[in-house]
Amino acid sequence: MPRSRHAPECRPAGRSGSLFYLCITLGFFCQYCLAITSKTYRLASGQDLAKGEVNNVLVGSRGTISLGHQAQVLAGQLDGVWSINAIVDCGGVIYLGTSPNGFIYRYASGRLTMVYPEQTDGRPTDPNTVRNEHVFAMAVDLAGRPIAGISGQQCRLIRFGSGGVETLCTFKDDLYIFALAVDQGGAILIGTGPEGRLYRLDPSANRPYLVHDLPDKNILSLAVAGDGTIYAGTDGRGLIYKIEPGAKRATVLYDCPQPEVTGLVLMDGTGLVGKQLYAIATSARVVPSERPGPPQPAQAMAGRPETSRGPGGPEGQQMDGKTLQVANTRRQSGQEAQQTRQPPSRRGERPESASYLYRIDPAGYVHEISSRRELFFCMAADGQMLLVGTGNEAQLVSVDPREEQVYVFYQDQNATQITAVAVCGQDVYLGTANPARLVRLDHSYASEGVYTSELLDAEQPAQWGKIQIEAEIPLDCQVLMSCRSGNVEDVNDPSFSAWTEPVEINGPVQLTCPVARFCQFRLILRSGGRKATPVIRQISVASTVPNLAPVVESVDVSRLNNPPSKQGLYKIAYKARDANDDKLTYSIYLRRLGRGQWILLKDNHDEDTYEWDGRTVEDGRYEIRVVASDIRSNSPGTALTGSRISDPVVVDNTPPVVEGHLIERNGPAAKVVLIVADNLSVIGQVEYTVDSNTDWMVAIPDDGVYDTAEERFTFQINGLAEGEHILAIRLADDLGNTAYRSFDIPLR
């Protein structure tokens, strides 16, 4: 199949190249005020673009949009069939192997006919008949006759010929035939289960002999090289075996972290030495928790691998067209360094993705091409491309192994999995499951496809400006744009404006949707001759928001006690934001609670904190007001402010006092009663000592808790010698304001 069927890599042939880059960028100058904020949305990666909706278009992993290929459903919802497991082409006649019931169909001249089991007494087999058989594998022998493995209690290999259905051999010790391959000499290789046996049946269809009994449950996939080397992928341990001609033992080529090797393909690689083995391995234990993202290359790095591909477009792609480019801005999307994905998990660990595509060179070196959270069911070579069928989104993924570019080649909106794929000339045939459908993709592009973006959020009602795309548009192709807007984060909300009339993109195009917070656009790709497609590589859209007032989100005032030099100082901390990203300055005001007049503490302050000396005012309760201004990014006539007032803060620089005391001496003991009070703060601690002893004793309030601004303390001093003594009291409130008092302890 020519490469033109795939999303192309088109490049201009020099400065005057006829395919051109079409760029659409959104830029706008707000007419309502001088201070505006323009936000540019750049969609340039596969991950960004995959958030949109597609209809007859392909989204590549490296950020491309192109037309999809013409699809035709040849057969849908086959009676008694859940899944099409295998497809083979026999000279333009298509054969299908299915499950359950093990029916085999032939499609030719637009007609689908059941050919297995054969008709009895001239009557066709009832498709609703329950049969304990499955057809998981089919192939074509050197004479062009289809062969099929029948799995079930009577496991056998059959062949279709001019005389009808012929049983080539049976396998009494096996239940399943999962893989078939035919070598260059015409020998048939058969991979079975549940004991993992590999058989070889020579071209004369004599009794098959056992090549190897592998220590694995099932052989799920087979590939055979021109020199007779056999590659086998297994289930359970995820091993890929290499079996050389005449070898008595099978060697392990690669131990996949995933337990099932569901597909093997040998293919020449441009710029690579020898045949390359490609393998898909999957883990059914990893269930996607959300809608899968785009297929990703294994190394998610900027740029792409260098290849020998020439500067022109792919085969069949017209080279005449026009070119525009996206205007440059200070902030370029896609320039941030991306983290390289870690290698696959070791045995026993949970893989990051459900499925991986590997390339293994003749020396046994393994390279990851792509990974995906979806399950990989089947794989086929299409020229220098690989086609991989996935589920549970029923997508056919196209992979260019040379450039490690990955496309969603086709998605079946009515099925769950793509379980079989076969390349037949310039057409691709797909078999799906749940329900079972036969679909044909031809080499032509769809005449029209639509890409609908996700909602772009300006966070405020915005004026939407121009859109630019970087694209290659061949002759006879077009890209058109339509848009709409709304203020609800729901694309189905009826309050959204109607879609505008499509406008062809020949340069920056103005979005004409109403002022609103959210905008959505559509790109309509058209191909007149269906032999070429536009290729969009980047989309740029911008919005403009008029000047908005800053918002002071919080004001917090806390007293500083450490270091001691900051005793009595307060830290005023505040947070503010500005929707226009304007430079903000702050003015800080003070007033005593209950008064109306604000006193300016600091003007035109740049920092988001300020230290205020609370000792410059009398004790009391105060409020702090912070005013944020965007004057530095605006003219005096357009500048706006926002403010916020703190919770009341207590300024208390006065320590507690002893409002009453009683000392009663009784010989060597003395009873002390104190009433300690503070005007504003909770009593923090009361300590005492006798005769200047350096060991201070803590007094406990009579109620056992320091929790009010007035506390009563009762304690007894013992061991007093005869004569007078001095009792020293150290008083502190909860803010650390400290005072000292002393009292004489009487003689008796």
pLDDT tens track for 476-525: 999 999 999 999 999 999 999 999 999 999 999 999 999 999 999 999 99
Domain boundary among 636, 651, 666: 651
Contact 356, 281 (CB under 8 A): yes
Contact 742, 728 (CB under 8 A): yes
344 found inside a domain: no
Within 13 Å and on the Cβ side, how many CA atoms surround 180? 28
Could you say which residues of the chain have pLDDT below 70?
1-37, 120-130, 269-274, 284-320, 322-325, 327-353
210: CATH: 2.130.10.10
pLDDT per residue as tens digits for the range 481-494:
999 999 999 999 99
Give the number of other Cβ atoms within 10 Å of residue 546's Cβ.
20
Q: Are residues 482 and 608 in the same domain?
A: no
317 found inside a domain: no
Q: What are the residues facing 418 on neighbouring strands?
A: 432
Q: Are residues 516 and 561 in the same domain?
A: no
Residue 12 belongs to what domain range?
A: 3-67+449-546
pLDDT of residue 337: 33
101 found inside a domain: yes
Q: How far apart are CA 401 and CA 699, in angstroms?
A: 81
Nearest residue to 576 via CA among 600, 608, 609, 611: 608
Domain boundary among 651, 680, 702: 651
Nearest residue to 435 via CA among 414, 411, 409: 414
- Per the structure, the count of domains in the chain is 4
10 Å CB burial of residue 74 (0-12, 13-18, 19+) is middle
Report the length, in residues, of the chain. Answer: 748
Task: Show the CA angle centred on residue 282, arms to residues 281 and 288, nearest 5°.
Answer: 150
User: SS3 of 565, please?
Assistant: helix
Domain boundary among 651, 668, 697: 651
Q: Are residues 420 and 504 in the same domain?
A: no
Contact 638, 586 (CB under 8 A): no
517 found inside a domain: yes
Q: Which residues contact 416 (CB under 8 A, 6 or more apart)?
A: 391, 392, 394, 432, 433, 434
Q: Are residues 229 and 84 in the same domain?
A: yes
Q: Are residues 685 and 578 in the same domain?
A: no
Q: Are residues 436 and 461 in the same domain?
A: no
Within 13 Å and on the Cβ side, how many CA atoms surround 414? 11
CB burial readout 343-380, b (16+ within 10 A) else e: ebeeeeeebebbbbbbbbeeeeebebbbbbbbbbbbbb
Q: Which residues contact 163 (CB under 8 A, 6 or more apart)?
A: none
229 found inside a domain: yes
Task: Show the CA angle centred on residue 378, arms to residues 171 and 219, nearest 5°.
Answer: 30
Q: Are residues 471 and 430 in the same domain?
A: no
Q: How far apart are CA 328 and CA 325, in angstroms?
A: 9
Nearest residue to 191 via CA among 228, 234, 154, 160: 234
pLDDT of residue 21: 35
pLDDT of residue 9: 37
Give the number of other Cβ atoms within 10 Å of residue 300's Cβ.
17
Give the number of other Cβ atoms within 10 Å of residue 60's Cβ.
27
Contact 26, 41 (CB under 8 A): yes
* Alpha-carbon distances of 33 from 36, 54, 464, 628, 635, rounded to whole Å: 7, 38, 16, 19, 9
Q: How far apart are CA 78 and CA 58, in angstroms?
A: 28
634: CATH: 2.60.40.10
Q: Are residues 435 and 461 in the same domain?
A: no
Q: Is the peptide bond before 362 cis (omega within 30 degrees of 0)?
A: no
Q: Are residues 248 and 220 in the same domain?
A: yes
Residue type, 16: S
Nearest residue to 50 via CA among 70, 65, 39: 65
Q: Are residues 231 and 87 in the same domain?
A: yes
* Alpha-carbon distances of 144 from 98, 119, 159, 182, rounded to whole Å: 21, 23, 11, 11
738: CATH: 2.60.40.650
345 found inside a domain: no
291 found inside a domain: yes
pLDDT of residue 22: 37
Per DSSP, the residues of 102-168 read: T-EEEEETTEEEEEESPPBTTBPPPTT---SEEEEEEEE-TTS-EEEEEEETT-EEEEEETTEEEEE
Task: Show the CA angle centred on residue 527, arms to residues 521 and 532, nearest 5°.
Answer: 115
339 found inside a domain: no
Q: Are residues 107 and 179 in the same domain?
A: yes
Q: Are residues 560 and 668 in the same domain?
A: no
Q: How far apart are CA 742 and CA 671, in angstroms?
A: 15
Within 13 Å and on the Cβ side, how many CA atoms surround 216? 26
Q: How far apart are CA 264 and CA 278, in angstroms?
A: 6
pLDDT of residue 746: 87
Give the number of other Cβ atoms within 10 Å of residue 551's Cβ.
14
